[in-house]
């Protein structure tokens, strides 16, 4: 009797052992099948402009490996690799350079909205334009990739609330408040502070974004701008492509003081695959390279060939320290520790960077990241939140905040704009 009891216990123990548990690969696969990735940032639109001048009639988006040229890598994104990566919804960045004058930036933003809408329309069996959370769900039910449009930088609206509203009507559903430079009403993370965060106009702009139902994106902005926006916003915010500053000190990353505020706001940080934002070694290497280039330009003024030669020699002597999938997972671990699992999303920035981390070279590689997270103990429910459920909650929260402001009239400023 005792021997039989011992045998039963041994079998029960074996069934409950790690050998009988779901593998990391199985956990990741189940999560991505239940909740495909909703990626926060992809720069295909600017690739269409820089490579094709927005003439896409003969462009094959099913496969883009053929886009490699002598001086440019192939694109990171196409329909086949989006499918392989289990991407079910994509924020397409209708980015334009922050160096443009505001009127030119407005026109170019409209052109980028146009080209991405045309690309989506060319593949009706594979993609669908999404303007609301329900559209994302409908696309998924139809087996299509939902495409949403996000403006990267407030210069895209020319300091005009009227233009903001019209961009919304054209289909833009998030706006990053700044890009690499300050706007007349908000400080960027990578420019010298001018406004101590948001001006009064900038705060009203956030309120107007809440009113019309446009997602406030705080990637690229200064810490004070982040804090001001969190003070003002009645809707959840996002960081569409940023990582944790506690691990990598880049100004584009999010400090813990801001991460601690995300749970109360309901917002998320969509951890990015940008190597220089992930690996501290890569960030330092980039700074050293910039310093060497500045030194050579000062030393060899008017002799650009000497600068090119000197930089080639420096690059050969100082190989780039690559980032890895594990670095991205480290940032996710940190965000979870500070802000919780409900504050995490994914924002690759593919086609906006020269290359991704080792093991995450393009949009097909998201399953590898989720396997890494599963190996670290993330449950299927955790992974589903990270992949898309947190972003869906944010989108619905933004829409609910807009509905609650239905009786609020449009915010107004003089037509000259800003302050």
Q: Give dist(CA 114, CA 179) in Å, integer.
A: 21
Return mean pLDDT, the chain: 94
Q: Which two tokens stand for residue 99?
A: 């160096």
Burial code of 118-138, b = ≥16 C-beta within 10 A, e = fewer? Answer: ebbeeeeebbbbbeebebbee
Location of structure tokens 């690059």: 315
Q: What's the pLDDT tens digit per position in 247-296?
A: 999 999 999 999 999 999 999 999 999 999 999 999 999 999 999 999 99
Q: Say whether pLDDT at 16 is over 90.
A: no
Give, for 346, the enclosing helix (H) or strand (E). Answer: strand 344-346
Q: What's the pLDDT tens digit per position in 43-65?
A: 999 999 999 999 999 999 999 99
Q: Say whether pLDDT at 20 is over 60.
A: no
Q: Say whether pLDDT at 78 is over 70.
A: yes
CB 92 within 8 A of CB 116: yes
Q: What's the distance, CA 347 to chain centroid?
A: 3
pLDDT at 347: 98
Q: Give dist(CA 142, CA 133) in Å, integer.
A: 15
Provide the pLDDT confidence category of residue 310 given band limits of 50, 70 and 90: very high
The residues annotated with a catalytic role in the active site are 41, 43, 152, 179, 220, 241, 349
């Amino acid at each position: 009797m005792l021997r039989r009891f011992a045998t039963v216990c041994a079998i029960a123990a074996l069934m409950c052992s790690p050998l009988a548990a779901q593998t990391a690969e199985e956990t990741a696969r189940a999560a991505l099948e239940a909740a495909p990735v909703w990626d926060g940032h992809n720069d295909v639109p600017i690739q269409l402009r820089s490579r094709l001048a927005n003439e896409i009639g003969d462009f094959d988006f099913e496969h883009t490996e053929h886009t490699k040229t002598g001086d440019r890598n192939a694109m990171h994104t196409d329909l086949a690799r989006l499918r392989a990566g289990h991407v079910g919804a994509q924020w397409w960045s209708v980015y334009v350079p922050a160096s443009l004058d505001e009127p030119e930036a407005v026109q170019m933003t409209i052109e980028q909205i146009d080209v991405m809408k045309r690309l989506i329309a060319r593949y009706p069996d594979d993609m669908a334009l999404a303007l609301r959370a329900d559209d994302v769900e409908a696309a998924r039910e139809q087996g299509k990739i939902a495409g949403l449009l996000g403006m990267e930088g407030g210069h895209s609206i020319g300091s005009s609330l009227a233009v903001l509203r019209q961009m919304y009507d054209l289909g833009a559903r998030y706006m990053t408040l700044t890009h690499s430079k300050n706007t007349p009403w908000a400080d960027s993370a990578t420019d010298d502070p001018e406004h101590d965060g948001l001006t009064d106009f900038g705060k009203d702009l956030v309120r107007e974004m809440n009113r019309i139902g446009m997602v406030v994106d705080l990637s690229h902005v200064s810490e004070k701008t982040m804090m001001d926006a969190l003070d003002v916003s009645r809707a959840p915010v996002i960081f569409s492509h940023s990582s944790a500053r506690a691990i990598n000190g880049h100004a584009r990353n999010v400090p813990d003081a801001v991460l601690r505020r995300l749970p109360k706001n309901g917002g998320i940080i969509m951890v990015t695959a940008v190597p220089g934002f992930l690996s501290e070694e890569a960030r330092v290497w980039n700074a050293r390279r910039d310093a060497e280039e500045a030194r050579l330009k000062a030393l060899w003024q008017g002799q650009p060939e000497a600068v090119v030669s000197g930089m080639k020699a420096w690059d050969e002597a100082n190989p780039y320290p690559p980032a890895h999938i594990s670095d991205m997972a480290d940032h996710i671990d940190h965000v979870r520790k500070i802000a919780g699992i409900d504050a995490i999303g994914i924002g690759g920035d593919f086609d906006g960077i020269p290359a991704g981390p080792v093991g995450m070279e393009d949009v097909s590689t998201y399953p590898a990241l989720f396997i890494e997270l599963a190996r670290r103990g993330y449950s299927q429910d955790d992974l589903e939140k990270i992949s898309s459920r947190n972003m869906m909650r944010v989108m619905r929260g933004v829409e609910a905040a807009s509905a609650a402001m239905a009786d609020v009239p449009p915010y107004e400023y003089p037509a000259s704009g800003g302050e």
